[in-house]
A and B are shown apart, each in its own frame.
Chain A
Amino acid sequence: NAGVTQTPKFRILKIGQSMTLQCTQDMNHNYMYWYRQDPGMGLKLIYYSVGAGITDKGEVPNGYNVSRSTTEDFPLRLELAAPSQTSVYFCASRAQTLAGSGEQFFGPGTRLTVL
């Protein structure tokens, strides 16, 4: 049981390049999330999904796109990378529950630098 996996672990992009951050979970969770964490700061929600085919914007969606074609995968696409997108990106998932904690399980993160 791998939990939430993210690839790559590190990446350096040039300004204007594009890339896709991969996220996969094997816990059959309906809910998946993408966050960014800037140095010394908390997590800000970029996008989230409540199931395959359903996504919605979070606090900071500009410059990113997502898709959710399967329960397991939730890739994050960066188009036209900018230095402001230098950050650590976390993917998370959680079970659908109306009771109990429904805590998020996080991947190990992807450290992205845009130069």
Chain B
Amino acid sequence: AQKITQTQPGMFVQEKEAVTLDCTYDTSDPSYGLFWYKQPSSGEMIFLIYQGSYDQQNATEGRYSLNFQKARKSANLVISASQLGDSAMYFCAMRESALYNFNKFYFGSGTKLNVKP
């Protein structure tokens, strides 16, 4: 089974609007971490935001927030007030705990976001 599933290969959003990128995950580990990375066309991987499985509140970092629904095993990224520079590939990733395999990260297949002016 896929550890991380991103069902939206591509998304369009109008500049200044909010957009939600979907991510679901699969683990039996009660302790895990969820990450979002941005990959612009230049190719580098940029860390955006982190959510721990025991964190009580949804993570926020500037215009990025993570809509964490533990029971549904979803960790959607919300980008508010989209900017042209947000056009990129976005990857969701998960790391499990020391009881499982603390050292491995699992990545989804990504969502390509295009911000329209």
Contact = CB atoms under 8 A, between A and B. Distances in A.
Contacts of B98: 98
Nearest to A41: B109
Question: Quick one: which of B35, B43, B95, B109 has the most chain A CB within 10 A?
Answer: B43
B103 interface: yes
Contacts of A100: 50, 52
Interface in B98-117: 98, 102-105, 107-110
B47 A31 contact: no
A102 B33 contact: yes
A104 B91 CA distance: 13
Contacts of B93: 43
A58 B45 contact: no
A50 B95 contact: no
B109 A101 contact: no
Interface residues of A, number: 26
A74 interface: no
Interface string A98-114: 10111111101100000
B44 A33 contact: no
B109 A104 contact: no
A43 B106 CA distance: 8
A31 B103 contact: yes
B50 A103 contact: yes
A101 B66 CA distance: 14
Contact of A45 (B4, B104, B109): B104
Given A45-B104, A101-B35, A103-B35, 6 more contacts: A42-B108, A101-B52, A104-B47, A106-B45, A108-B44, A109-B44
Contacts of A90: 45
A26 interface: no
Question: Quick one: which of A58, A101, A104 has the most chain B CB within 10 A?
Answer: A101
Interface string A9-47: 000000000000000000000010101000011111100
A103 B33 CA distance: 9
B26 to A, nearest CB: 15
Interface string B43-77: 11101001010000000000000000000000000
